[in-house]
Amino acid sequence: MKTRTIDEALDKYVQERMAKGKQPAAERFLSYAYVKYSGDEVPEFMRKVGGLTRYYIDFLKVMGNPLKGPELAWFASMLTVVAASCYLMEMEESRLTGILIFSGTLASAFLLICFAARKWCEAGVMIAIYREILEIAEQEAGGPA
CB 10 within 8 A of CB 54: no
Number of domains making up the chain: 1
DSSP letter for 53, please: H
CB 54 within 8 A of CB 34: no
CB 139 within 8 A of CB 51: no
pTM of the model: 0.73
- Number of alpha carbons in the 13 Å side-chain half-sphere of residue 32: 21
CB 137 within 8 A of CB 50: yes
DSSP letter for 68, please: S
pLDDT tens digits, one per residue of 88-136: 999 999 999 999 999 999 999 999 889 888 888 888 899 999 999 999 8
- Domain span at 118: 3-141
